[in-house]
Chains A and B, each alone.
Chain A
Amino acid sequence: MKKGNDWRYRISNREAIMGTVLALLNFIWWYAFAYGLGGRPVKEYTYILGFPAWFFYSCIVGFIVFTLLVWVMVKFFFKEVPFETDEAEEESESR
């Protein structure tokens, strides 16, 4: 097998980029709600289920949303590839 031309690497590279983009979105969500809503004076805070709104959206909703997004990402965008090299060659020949 030629070095560096493994068809499985293209899939892996794409998935690594998706993971990085998701982490970036995660950071933006976390930061925007925390400091966007939480930066106001405490007197103006609104509350959801007892929590200040900034905390509720940034940490609680953010946790749920990004767990779901990870599920969506691996379910619909990640591909199953064989890890053993012999299997991979068979599969790439049958393509």
Chain B
Amino acid sequence: MNWDVILPLAFFLVLVFLVGIYTSRHIKSGPSFLQDYFLAGRELGGFVLAMTMVATYGSASSFIGGPGAAYQLGLGWVLLAMAQLVTGYFTLAVLGKKFAIVARKINAVTLIDFLKARYESKWVVILSALSIVIFLFSAMAAQWVGGGRLIESFTGVSYTTALFIFSGSVLIYVVAGGFRAVVITDAIQGVVMVIGTVIILAGTIVAGGGIENIMGELRAENPNLITPFGSNESLTPLFVSSFWILVGVGVVGLPQISIRAMSYRNAKAMHRAMIIGTFVVGFIMLGMHLTGVFGRVILPGIEIPDKVMPLLALEVLPGWLAGIVLAAPLAAVMSTVDSVLLLVSSAIIKDVYINYIKPDAEERFVKRLSFGITAVVGLSVFTMAINPPDLLIWLNLFAFGGLEAAFIWPIVMGLYWKRGNANGAIASIVVGVGSYMWLHLNYPNLWGMHTVVMPIVFSFFAYIVGSFTKGDRPQTNTL
């Protein structure tokens, strides 16, 4: 064990834990409890909004998997990663003030509250809640496994112990503090992600003898490493461009991101968040992926891509700085799972239980139930993560693209197209998820594009066609 590395990591975990617990003291009782617990009373300022969006979106793959791929493929993969710059401003601009205003008018606490008010359809609600619970639960379990593995590899404790440490620190503050604890800790985690990026990038450039030198060595090893096409020329322009859909504009359809577009205080917060968010997401993606490429010169011949970043941090930095850098991927994982955990629990409590099982539930009971369900969901993810069942791993394959294909049009068209109706939304969700799963299994990367592209096209047409089948009167429940 390397105590230099472990101390900053442990300090980070304790800090996040304490801040999370501290914010839970602000949870209000009474009629505003649900809004407070699941949406922090719509009080987010610009900085916290930007950080929670970036941190929720950025996951282990931004710090471990992505840089590992950049190490193998070269600058072409950094180019691909930069498609994510657009997520910094696009979601907030497109959902925009209209989403925030509508959410207030109808008192929406979850994404499904919005869909329910817009489409007035039981089936839209049930299908959406199902997709969220199934896909996000499995995505969360996968991230949970990642969090455990990270702690395991940095500290040398056993996987089960690592998982226990990880779950303990995340679960307690999410259950006790709700959305406010999630976003405040996200802000800290976002800052750690930025600091980690600065340190490892600087350390790697120095260790490699400057950028000019690094580029020279890369070119000498394999000139394709410094082209946009990848070391084995596998990155075609069409394939790389299709990531603008998957990890760029399509992110609007991810419920854990779009829910944040109804949580900010005022127009000024949204404006600031767009500027800060764009800068932070661009900086992290550029910095981390470049580091992966540069690392090839310093530590050649690493076979397992996921090991690139940990090995590199330990090689180029003193132990305690490496600890800070390695806190960044942990922060990224934590900030993703805390948000998703709360989202899954809100879908169960608000969208299913209060909507259909007991609409007149007593306030005090709802409060106890919210803590209870959040804890139960968290504990079951923990249990699953100890020995993940195959079904969960299988479902996780579809989580990201499937949710995008399901929700992007019901949300965006629901906001901006008056004629859109429940039939359109149902068709869009079914076709989106169905075609994504089918293509992924049978024709992955159809026509040289990422699998997500065609399902998003199909679900768009399904929405339009579905909306026109409802007789001659357009539905004008535009809110």
**Which A residues have a C-beta under 8 Å from some C-beta of B?**
3-4, 6, 8-9, 11-13, 15-16, 18-20, 22-23, 26-27, 30-31, 34-35, 38-39, 42, 45, 47, 49-52, 54-55, 58-60, 62-63, 66-67, 70-71, 73-75, 78-85, 88
Contacts and interface: CB of A to CB of B under 8 A. Distances in A.
B94 A8 contact: no
Interface residues of B, number: 56
A19 B96 contact: yes
Interface of B: 75, 78-79, 82-83, 85-86, 88-90, 92-98, 100-101, 104-105, 210-215, 219, 223-224, 226-229, 237, 241, 244, 248-249, 266-268, 271, 274-275, 278-279, 282-283, 286, 416, 418, 476-479
Give 8 nearest A-B pairs by CB, closest first. A19-B93, A50-B211, A12-B98, A50-B212, A42-B223, A38-B228, A74-B271, A80-B267
Nearest to B224: A42
B96 A52 contact: no
Contacts of A31: 237, 241
Contact of B268 (A12, A59, A80): A80
B479 A3 contact: yes
Contacts of A71: 275
Contact of B101 (A6, A16, A63): A6
Given A3-B477, A9-B98, 15 more contacts: A4-B478, A13-B416, A15-B97, A16-B416, A22-B89, A35-B237, A49-B211, A50-B214, A51-B215, A55-B75, A55-B228, A63-B286, A80-B268, A81-B101, A84-B104
A59 B267 contact: no
A49 B115 CA distance: 50
A50 B282 CA distance: 20
A51 to B, nearest CB: 6
Contacts of A27: 86, 241, 244
B227 A42 contact: yes
Given A19-B93, A59-B78, A59-B286, A67 B101 contact: no
8 contacts: A9-B98, A15-B97, A16-B94, A16-B95, A38-B228, A50-B210, A50-B214, A83-B97
B77 to A, nearest CB: 11
A30 B237 contact: no
Contacts of B86: 23, 26-27
A30 B267 contact: no
